[in-house]
Amino acid sequence: MAEGATYDPVVSKHLVRYGMGLSPHVIVKARGATLWDQHGREILDFTSGQMCATIGHNHPRIVAAIEKACEGALHLYSGFVGPAVPALAGRLAAMLPPSLSKSLFLSTGGEANEAAARMARVTTGRYEIVGLNGGWHGVNGGIAGRHHVDYGPRKPGTMSIPAPHCYRCPIRHCRDACDTTCLDVGFDMVDAQSSGSLAAFIAEPVLSSAGVIVPPPGYFPKLQAKCRERGMLLILDEAQTAFGRLGSNFAFEQIGVVPDFLTVSKTLGGGLAIGATVTSEAIEQDCHEKGFVHVTSHVSDPLPAEVGLAVLDVLEEEGLNQRAAAMGERLSRGLATLKARHEVIGDVRGHGLLQGVELVKDRETRAPDAERGRAITDACMARGLSMNIVAVGGMAAVWRIAPPLNVKPEEIDRGLEILDDAIRSTG
Ligand SMILES: Cc1ncc(COP(=O)(O)O)c(C=O)c1O
């Protein structure tokens, strides 16, 4: 991730550089899909902040929820809750199938995944957790996924299998349509390496940070069947996909599985820190009986729960699922037009308002063009469009385009025009 990242020397003078670069634009104000820097320059935000501001920056309902929490309580002893915490748990339960009715509220997505993994280990009495290569589940140590090079050994029992990426098939088998052989091969490898202690599998419904990789239809039911055969639980990490991003309340509604654990975070807080681990009554009861402990300083804090309730209100009141589907369609149509115009765009893929654009030197070899990708990203910023390049490196260069769900059609069009112009300017 750190490769090619640039740090503004003034901004980062006393800051630890954490891997993704720091822009000279100091953001002094954010509203909806627009940011303003210290010089009053307007920037269109096509990343929803760090993929969290799905209902738009500083939505008045979020501001009101913060004020309400300030009137009430911001933080409590972990054995107390304010009214928003059970209310949010009830609200989530009402949105979810009966088997997902118990919530634990934490501060981040990584924490929510860690809690799910810990509960899976407690309830199964096993310790191995398997993930998808390139999947990102936070920086906590006990969950599988992307390699954390240079940080010493991973937690024993974490493994990963190839991700179903048909544009760059990890097992060199498919091209452009995944037939899920990678899943069979992956589980063969898991079986060969397991010590017989498989507890859970963790996956994102769309692998976002890995380059917006969309598993093919039928992938998740097959994955879940493989889990069941082995007595493993399924953890679905919906940090980015829950609450509208893909045009539905939850991505799992579209992929044909109900997980044993659902984790949500970024999009529940709308820009404030919250994470939640949701599971069944039976798993919760079993973990409780087996002595499950997971206390953090901010478990069940009232402030983020109040904000979470406001986010769910806005999701419903503004019909954001429908808007995300409609704006996603507009965005992907526009990106397809740009692909027809510019050789550097090798692939456009995604779902709803989560779109990925793969940058290549040559469409036949599909050699990634990270350098041009960075140049275009910079040219976009110079024209007032903030774009995020993910999966940079030897393997791929992909823009992840994900504006707030209530982005206006004219903002989508303006972003596409800027992108078109920026690509031309670097050609
Ligand atoms: C799918 C997914 N899960 C988990 C996380 C980790 O969330 P956090 O950074 O809040 O710990 C992220 C963050 O990018 C994510 O994209």
Helix axes 370-382, 409-425, angle to 10 degrees: 120
Ligand 1 centre distance from Cα of residue 113 (Å): 9
> Which pTM value belongs to this model?
0.97
Ligand 1 centre distance from Cα of residue 267 (Å): 10
Question: Which ligand 1 atom is the nearest neighbour of the CA of 140?
Answer: 11
Question: Which ligand 1 atom is the nearest neighbour of the CA of 110?
Answer: 11
Cα–Cα distance measured from residue 186 to residue 163, given in angstroms and rounded to the nearest whole number: 9
Cα–Cα distance measured from residue 61 to residue 54, given in angstroms and rounded to the nearest whole number: 13
Verify whether ligand 1 is closer than 6 Å to residue 267 (CB atom).
no
Ligand 1 centre distance from Cα of residue 370 (Å): 23
Backbone phi, then psi, for 59, in 5-degree steps?
Answer: -55, 135
Active-site annotation holder among 61, 126, 136, 238: 136
**322 is known as an active-site residue:** no
pLDDT of residue 1: 44
Q: Among 266, 398, 400, say which to mutate for ligand 1: greatest number of ligand atoms within 8 Å of CB.
A: 266
Structural contact between residues 158 and 190, judged by C-beta atoms closer than 8 angstroms: no
Active-site annotation holder among 237, 238, 260, 358: 237
Question: Which ligand 1 atom is the nearest neighbour of the CA of 108?
Answer: 10
Nearest CA owner, ligand 1 atom 6? 138
Low-confidence ranges of the chain (pLDDT < 70): 1-4, 141-142, 144-150, 392-394
**136 is known as an active-site residue:** yes
Active-site annotation holder among 61, 102, 266, 323: 266
Ligand 1 centre distance from Cα of residue 363 (Å): 31
Ligand 1 centre distance from Cα of residue 221 (Å): 23
Structural contact between residues 423 and 338, judged by C-beta atoms closer than 8 angstroms: yes
Verify whether ligand 1 is closer than 6 Å to residue 277 (CB atom).
no
Verify whether ligand 1 is closer than 6 Å to residue 265 (CB atom).
yes
Contacts of range 17-22, beta carbons closer than 8 Å, 24 or more positions apart: none
pLDDT of residue 148: 58
Verify whether ligand 1 is closer than 6 Å to residue 220 (CB atom).
no
Nearest partner of 103 among 87, 80, 121, judged by Cα: 87
Verify whether ligand 1 is closer than 6 Å to residue 137 (CB atom).
yes
297 CA to centre of own chain? 24
**240 is known as an active-site residue:** yes
Question: Which ligand 1 atom is the nearest neighbour of the CA of 50?
Answer: 14
Q: Which helix (H) or strand (E) holds 128?
A: strand 128-132
Verify whether ligand 1 is closer than 6 Å to residue 49 (CB atom).
no
Ligand 1 centre distance from Cα of residue 85 (Å): 22
Verify whether ligand 1 is closer than 6 Å to residue 239 (CB atom).
yes
pLDDT of residue 5: 79
Ligand 1 centre distance from Cα of residue 308 (Å): 17
Which neighbouring-strand residues pair with 17?
none
**150 is known as an active-site residue:** no
pLDDT of residue 393: 61
pLDDT of residue 234: 98
How far, in Å, are 31, 35, 133, 165, 412 from residue 28 at the CA level?
11, 8, 37, 39, 23
